[in-house]
Amino acid sequence: MEIEDIKFIVIESFIVEATGLLRIGGKWFKNKGIEKENWKVLLKKPRMDTTIFKKGLPTMKLKSKWRSLLLIIQKIVT
């Protein structure tokens, strides 16, 4: 994974270690709360109304530099 001039590897075992979650698909990110302020900086328009997102966050609403990372994580997890 590369974001601007930072390069790093994202693999399932790193996510498990960092989050403490089990390696069971249904347990990964479901029902885990997150504060809006933590992820709103990833949006193209950080002040947009996010209450419209009922089932997830559309990748097209993210800044382009974060889209690839999100898609990689989704691919690993699901």
Segments making up each domain of the chain, as ranges: 2-77
Kindly indicate the confidence band of residue 33, based on its pLDDT and cuts at 50, 70 and 90. Answer: low
CB neighbours of 17 closer than 8 A, spacing ≥ 6?
none
Q: Is the pLDDT of residue 8 over 60?
A: yes
- pLDDT category of residue 59 using cuts at 50, 70 and 90: confident
Q: Which helix (H) or strand (E) holds 48?
A: none
pTM: 0.45
